[in-house]
């Protein structure tokens, strides 16, 4: 199929933009340490509170679990920044805290980091899909697929499967076993994280009992995973999102149009570590999360990114396929209309 012509995006001075972004790359040890403290300590305190609440009623644990899950999402953002070597100036410090927060979030640091780097390298590129991203087919690919592949894709894209079975798959399968070509460091990351999770489970079971550990840990982890999957999904699945074939792919367009500015209420922005400024993160992944709002306020060029809000972002659930002819995401119901 002939690739349709792409309307040219307004030209930005990429070199100048990169130079100004570099001024925000510098992490601040005090801010990073403070973020560790205001994330890890409340998370631990909520665990203690949940344990004592369990003595009265299991239902008292649920609201505590929801708040704890918010802190676990925040801890994952710290893990995420460590994976980009942006949280501390020292690579050793980033690795240490990345491995530790990876155990808390059940995510192997080096294994995840390699996959996530491929996501950044191919974001918005139709010829580099399938690495650390949400599975997305074009309309033509879907029409030409076998019945089994269509069924698998429809199940994958079903919100109940993606956001409720997805966390179970990630927790129990995706990050517990090594798949595909990996380095020794990535394999050791998986095995080491598994051992770390087991060690904490044994310790907590000894301290509070295995049943209490499961009652507290599983809801917190599940709720945090649902939130994390939603954030990752919505930041690249929205009306007006950028996708292009390799020969016409453009880094600035892929960043500023392929990533959203998810403008969340202030409290949710805090819990999600400013990851809603996703377009800026893709422009320069070495910018620490606590500098992202300042970049957005001070650089007018980045303010043109598509803006999503909490309720309007729910429309993203309708998008299933990329229509190369119309250059937009469509639902399954529009397939017959978009291909002649």
Q: Residue 288 and residue 78: Cα distance in Å, rounded?
A: 9
State residue 122 phi and psi, 5-degree precision. Answer: -115, 15
SS3 310: coil
Residues whose CB falls within 8 Å of the CB of residue 9, separated by 6 or more in sequence, listed in order: 250, 252, 253, 257
3-state secondary structure string across 74-120: HHHHHHHHHHCCCCCCCHHHHHHHHHHHHHHCCCCHHHHHHHHHHHH
Q: How many residues appear in the chain?
A: 340
Confidence (pLDDT) at 308:
94
Q: What is the pTM of this model?
A: 0.92
pLDDT digits (tens, 9 = 90+) for 260-271: 999 999 999 999
Residue 322: C-alpha distances to residues 10, 139, 162 (Å): 23, 6, 18
Low-confidence stretches of the chain (pLDDT beneath 70): 1-12, 336-340
């Amino acid at each position: 199929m002939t690739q349709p012509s792409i309307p040219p995006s307004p030209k930005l001075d990429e070199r100048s933009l990169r130079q100004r972004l570099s001024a925000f790359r510098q992490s601040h040890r005090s801010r990073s340490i403070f973020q560790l403290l205001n994330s890890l300590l409340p998370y631990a305190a909520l665990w203690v509170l949940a344990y004592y609440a369990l003595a009265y009623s299991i239902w008292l644990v649920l609201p505590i679990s929801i708040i704890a899950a918010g802190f676990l999402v925040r801890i994952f953002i710290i893990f995420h920044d460590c994976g980009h070597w942006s949280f501390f100036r020292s690579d050793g410090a980033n690795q240490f805290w990345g491995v530790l927060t990876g155990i808390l979030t059940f995510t192997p640091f080096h294994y995840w980091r390699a996959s996530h780097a491929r996501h950044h390298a191919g974001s918005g590129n139709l010829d580099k899909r399938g690495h650390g991203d949400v599975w997305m087919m074009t309309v033509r690919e879907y029409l030409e697929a076998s019945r089994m592949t269509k069924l698998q894709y429809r199940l994958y894209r079903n919100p109940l499967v993606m956001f409720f079975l997805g966390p179970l798959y990630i927790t129990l399968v995706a990050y517990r076993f090594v798949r595909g070509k990996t380095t020794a460091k990535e394999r050791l990351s998986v095995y080491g994280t598994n051992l770390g999770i087991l060690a904490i489970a044994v310790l907590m079971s000894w301290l509070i009992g295995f049943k209490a550990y499961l009652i507290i840990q599983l809801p917190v982890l599940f709720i945090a995973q649902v939130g994390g999957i939603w954030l990752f999904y919505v930041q690249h699945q929205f009306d007006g999102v950028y996708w292009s074939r390799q020969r016409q792919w453009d880094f600035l367009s892929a960043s500023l149009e392929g990533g959203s500015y998810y403008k969340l209420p202030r409290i949710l922005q805090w819990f999600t570590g400013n990851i809603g400024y996703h377009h800026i993160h893709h422009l320069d992944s070495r910018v620490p999360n606590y500098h992202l709002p300042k970049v957005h306020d001070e650089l007018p060029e980045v303010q043109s990114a598509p803006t999503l809000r909490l309720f309007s972002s729910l429309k993203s659930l309708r998008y299933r396929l990329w229509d190369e002819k119309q250059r937009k995401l469509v639902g399954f119901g529009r397939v017959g209309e978009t291909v002649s």
